[in-house]
Chain A
Amino acid sequence: MRRPRISLSAVVWLLVGAAYFMIPLLATFLFSVRDAQTGKCCSLGAYGVILHDPEFWTTIRLSFRLALETIVISLLLFVPTIYWVHLRLPRLRPVIGFMALIPFVVPPIILVVGLLGFFKDTLHAPFWYLGNPNYFLVTAYVILAFPYVFFSLDAGFRAIDVHTLTEASQSLGASWRTTLLRVILPNIKVAALSGAFLTLAIVMGEFTIATLSAFHTFPTYIQYINETQAYPAAAVSLMSFGITWAAMLSLLLIGRRRRVGAAVTIAEVGH
């Protein structure tokens, strides 16, 4: 007994959901195209203010660079580890899975307290580490990205036969490096890219650790604009949404058939 028609209550709830999602974005858009002098529609002036602000370019470039550095370090650290665990140390898999849950109980607001307390007050780490976002923030962001990259890669490795691929590759005379780069990596490319795009979205939106350790990144720039200029704030908020959108859409496009939910089930660090 198939009902081809959509039920009325389903329509109502879907509309509620769509409205909750769309109205704030629409309002932000309408705000962003207001004229600075008259407060009326329509002017692209607010976008001009942002695009002509050198701070915008400095901070967005910094955040993008931090995101790339985080992605590179995460993949270098986690791909070989998870490969090795699947191949040789399967008993360690639950241990690493458990560790990937720790960022849920140690969210950014707690992590930043710990990082500053540990590196600044206990170790008295040098300024080249504490004062440089490329070191301090990236080491923290690798931790924030860890659960997402882990669950993404773990699913990827579970879907392939690590043992057969490795044995086949080595019996044909390949070195470990060749095996990892030319046999394993192409097979987990989708998983690695999913992790990379999630990391990109996280780093481009991360505010808590950046602001509380006194760095000026893209999200702290948005906060500064929010406090000072209303219409440009709408414009830059919308741009930030666009970045999240692009990252998540890329994620979906590369992994069409994979379950989307899996990667999004731990804490959302950007909030």
Chain B
Amino acid sequence: MPGRRRRRSLAWLGVLPFFAYTTLFLILPSAQVMIGAFKGEAGGYTFGNIVDIVQTPNIRHAYRQSIEISLVTALAGGLLGLLIAYAAIREGTPRWIRSAFTTFSGVAANFGGIPLAFAFIATLGTVGIVTQFLTNVFGIDIYANGFSLFTKTGVELAYLYFQIPLMFLVIAPAVDGLRTEWREASANLGSSSFQYWWHIGLPVLFPSLLGAVILLFGNAFAAYATAYGLTASGLNLVPILIGADLRGNVYANPHEGQALAFGMFAVLAGMMLLYVPLQRRASRWAR
């Protein structure tokens, strides 16, 4: 049928601009990173760059620290976000509180980078409002007790500012999916609150929770601006190393930056492979 074939070929033309654009500005640049990571300084292909990364203690430390920060903020942010979402959605909480928290979360989850870094400097920096408040009112000098905003702990506190609201936004539909009838039915059958959560609540929420925590992990792992704004180049994190590499003041090997980026990509791709099937399962109960 010539007519039908002709229509199909025209139909493909319709998505050509989209695929041309994404190929040129997303696929090929990404491929460049993947290929460059395995290119030798003198040309040819090599595992040398990857071996270098694994063997350089400073870079190993950066990966460990990046993963630690992402893990801690994903778990802590996930837990707090879940508790706040449950508190906002559960029966008895007025409806407007939920709307207000959703709005604020939408803003806070998108508020990051340099301004967020400064907000935390104004709060918990050496002369920050909370730092001074604790010193003047309670006589506790947190900086004398080992705290500093410009360390791993400080970066984690700042990341939580967008991790908690992101968790709220992601998990709210799943929490909403916990039907009141389930709770009532389990109570009618004589189960305790703990039994309800252990046998019904958590198993239903589990895929959503795990998916959300993975999302939060990736969100923190890829973050550059907030950490840079807080510590400039002071904290040893993978994105900071890549940034220093691009600014051209650290490494001699031009492929090292690509190898570092490839390492990040590998971690994030692993996360994605876990995330997609979980998301599919989770959507079963979400309203």
Could you list which residues of chain A lie within 8 angstroms of chain B, going by C-beta atoms?
A: 1-7, 9-14, 16-18, 20-21, 23-28, 30-31, 77-78, 80-81, 84-85, 88-89, 92, 96, 99, 101-119, 121-122, 139-140, 142-143, 146, 198, 201-202, 205-208, 211-212, 219, 222-223, 226-227, 233-234, 236-238, 240-241, 244-245, 247-249, 251-252, 259-261, 264-265, 267-268, 270-271
Contact = CB atoms under 8 A, between A and B. Distances in A.
Given A81-B18, A261-B169, A207 B225 contact: yes
A226 B22 contact: no
B268 A107 contact: yes
A260 B102 contact: yes
A116 B246 contact: yes
B13 to A, nearest CB: 9
Interface in B236-259: 239, 242-243, 246-247, 254, 257-258
A109 B261 contact: yes
A220 to B, nearest CB: 8
Given A101-B272, A115-B25, A234 B110 contact: no
B15 A84 contact: yes
B207 interface: no
A107 B221 CA distance: 10
A268 B112 contact: yes
B122 interface: yes
Interface stretch (B26-34, B44-52, B55-63, B137-145): B26-34
Contacts of B93: 6-7, 10, 14
Q: Which of A78, A244, A252, A268 has the most CB of B within 10 A?
A: A268
B150 interface: no
A268 B97 CA distance: 24
Given A105-B265, A205-B113, A271 B242 contact: no
A-side binding surface: helix, strand, loop or mixed?
helix
Task: Give the size range of B's interface with the partner.
Answer: 35 or more
Q: Which of A106, A236, A248 has the most CB of B within 10 A?
A: A106
A103 B272 CA distance: 11
Given A3-B92, A77-B21, A205 B112 contact: yes
B30 A102 contact: yes
B15 A110 contact: no
Nearest to B254: A121
B165 interface: yes
B88 A6 contact: no
A120 to B, nearest CB: 10
A26 B122 CA distance: 9
B42 interface: no
Interface in B93-138: 93-94, 97, 101-104, 106-123, 128-130
B203 to A, nearest CB: 22
Contacts of A80: 14, 17
Report the 9 A-B pairs with minimum CB-CB distance, sorted nearest first: A114-B29, A107-B222, A271-B112, A10-B87, A271-B223, A27-B129, A237-B115, A207-B225, A27-B123
Contacts of A234: 118, 122
Contact of A84 (B11, B104, B107, B218): B11
B264 interface: yes
Given A17-B164, A77-B17, A271-B223, A27 B90 contact: no
Given A244-B110, A267-B222, A96 B26 contact: no
A17 B278 CA distance: 27
13 contacts: A2-B91, A10-B93, A21-B161, A28-B123, A31-B122, A84-B15, A89-B14, A89-B15, A114-B31, A114-B32, A118-B32, A143-B26, A146-B26
A31 B103 CA distance: 25
Contacts of B117: 226
Contacts of B26: 99, 102-103, 106, 111, 143, 146
Given A17-B87, A24-B120, A206-B113, 17 more contacts: A13-B84, A14-B101, A18-B104, A26-B129, A96-B15, A107-B218, A109-B224, A118-B29, A142-B25, A143-B22, A198-B110, A211-B243, A223-B228, A234-B118, A248-B103, A248-B107, A268-B109
